[in-house]
Structure 1
Amino acid sequence: MVEECAIVIAHVSTGRIGNLNFGNTPCLVSKSKPGQKRRTEFTVEAISTQSISEPLSTTEWIGINQSLSNSYVEYFMRLGAFDELGITKSSTIRREVSVGDSRIDFEIDETTFVEVKTPLIHIPGTGIGDSKPLTAFHRIVKHFDELASAVKSESSTGHLKRGIFLFCFFYDAPPFQRPPATVNIEAITQAAKRAKEAGVQFWQANFRVTPEGIHFLRVFRLESDY
């Protein structure tokens, strides 16, 4: 990541981030490797809700590069950070596993499916990234239903499978709470309930982003529907 303060053109590898206006928002960026064909030389890895005039040494960063979430999760799985989920250093980890017409992010030891989600519908901090009404909800409903279907289809063959829906935050986030109820949120809630009835568990993992890299903080089970 670029450590000095500078203005650069950078790609934002994510969808909507609350109602964030990137004007004067401090960012951590990574530089493309030599030979990589990218439209921009840099990618935004994290942002801060602090003022750009505040010292970088005190800045708290919020990771937003959703395209690398699975890679970070796998890295820390292999280090044993997810022991609480029954995933150890010696576990066999497979990525992008096909189950019927679906693809699941991870299969662990042929016993556990893990689907990773990195929500960015709201950003902590005063005046930046307050939640908007959620309109693009079909993808998360699809993910809930696919994971539930994968668990049920494998269990019906006598191969008992456990399903885990893992919410990942690249800052020390409080336990995830769904936004206020709307028609769209109700569709997500019902999909989450179907997944829970199929045996899917809901967990949250928090990480910290610094100019030096990504650090694992904690993982815990979410007791509500999701």
Structure 2
Amino acid sequence: MENSTFVFETCLIEGMILKRKNRFIMEVEVDGIVCDCHCPTTGRIGNILFRDIPCLLSKSKDTTRKTQYTVEAISLDLPSENNKSWIGINQNAANRYVEHFLKTGQLSAMVDNGGTVKREKKLGDSKLDFLVGNTYIEVKTPLMSLQVEMKDHIATKKVSEFNSFERFIKHINELSESLQRNERAILLTCFIYENPGYKVSKRGKHSDYIKNEVKACISRGIEIWQINFKISPTEVRLINYFETTNTFMDAGAALQE
């Protein structure tokens, strides 16, 4: 597929996460040296205990930055495996990938590829990720529930239910309200790994409320799509994308992740 890759300017570097020190910092061994690296997502990542987890790092051009590296992806394979599968965890970078494929016309089944792509357009009290022609697009990159096989060597922890869903509810309602002035509004769930179909996580005490809000917004006309990327040390490749609106009419409780 022409233009189906986003090529990194500089190849990513493989390292080993020794631990997650806090929401923003991971301790990583890079070429035998242990250093603090920026963690680009502040939330949970699959309930993983980060002990000897392989990762891919980008190096900042800013030599004054306290953390020279950013963790772009992790692997749940054994460190000794040569051909690792990677899970992208940089939620901000996800928007750059989506922008690339919008601008190169690779998402024409979802949105007209001739439309002008504008970033971070104001809508109500929020800034939504894209305005493409007359269609608003908000990108969500769920990471709290990784829909991949958790291998035996991966340690996980029990965590409390996620309760910080207000921002998601605000965004999805503003998306639906945009339909009063715009033709279409899309919530795009983005996975920087292969995910055949997003599955709603286990039921929580706020599930019914969130599900009802999602269904109400779908009834007003918003669409929900899914896009899957594959990340490697050299590039991000578009795997596929497809509409999932009907799926979330019946199960919409986990999109806020």
- For this structure pair, what is the TM-score category when the shorter chain's length is used for normalisation? 0.7 to 0.9
Aligned match for 2:117, one of 93, 114, 132:
93
Distance 1:3 1:47, change over 3 A: closer
List alignment gaps of at least 5 residues for structure 2.
Answer: 1-11, 16-29, 253-257
Question: Do residues 77 (structure 1) and 102 (structure 2) align?
Answer: yes
Give 1:113 shift. Answer: 0.8
In 1, Cα distance between equivalents of 2:50 and 2:14: 19
Query: Using the alignment, how far apart are the partners of 2:200 and 2:166 within structure 1?
Result: 15
The residue identity in structure 2 corresponding to 1:193 is K
Amino acid at match of 2:138: E
Give runs of aligned pairs for residues 16-95 of structure 1, distance below 5 A.
16-35=44-63, 37-55=64-82, 58-88=83-113, 90-95=114-119
Instruction: Give the equivalent residue in structure 2 for 1:182.
Output: 204
1:114 counterpart residue number: 137
Instruction: Compute the TM-score of the two structures, normalised by the length of structure 2.
Output: 0.77
- Which amino acid letter does the alignment assign opposite residue 31 of structure 1? K
Higher strand share: 2
What letter is aligned with 1:79? T
Contact in 2 for aligned 1:122/1:130 (Cα 8 Å): no
> SS of the counterpart of 2:247?
coil
TM-score of the two chains, using structure 1 as the length reference:
0.87
Quote how far apart the aligned CAs of 1:85 are. 0.8
CA contact (8 A) 2:49 2:157 kept: no
Q: Is the 8 A contact 2:111 2:132 kept in 1?
A: no
The total of aligned residue pairs comes to: 215
Question: C-alpha distance in 2, partners of 1:194/1:38?
Answer: 44
Give per-residue Cα distances to partners, 1:179-216, cap 9 Å, x unaligned: 12222222221221121011000100000000002111
4+ residue runs over 6 A deviation = none
User: C-alpha distance in 2, partners of 1:147/1:70?
Assistant: 17
Mapped to 2, the partners of 1:131 and 1:50 lie a distance apart of 21
Give the unaligned 5+ runs of structure 1: 155-159
- Cα RMSD after superposing both structures: 2.0
Structure (1 or 2) with the greater helix fraction: 1
Which one is further off, 178-187 or 39-48? 178-187
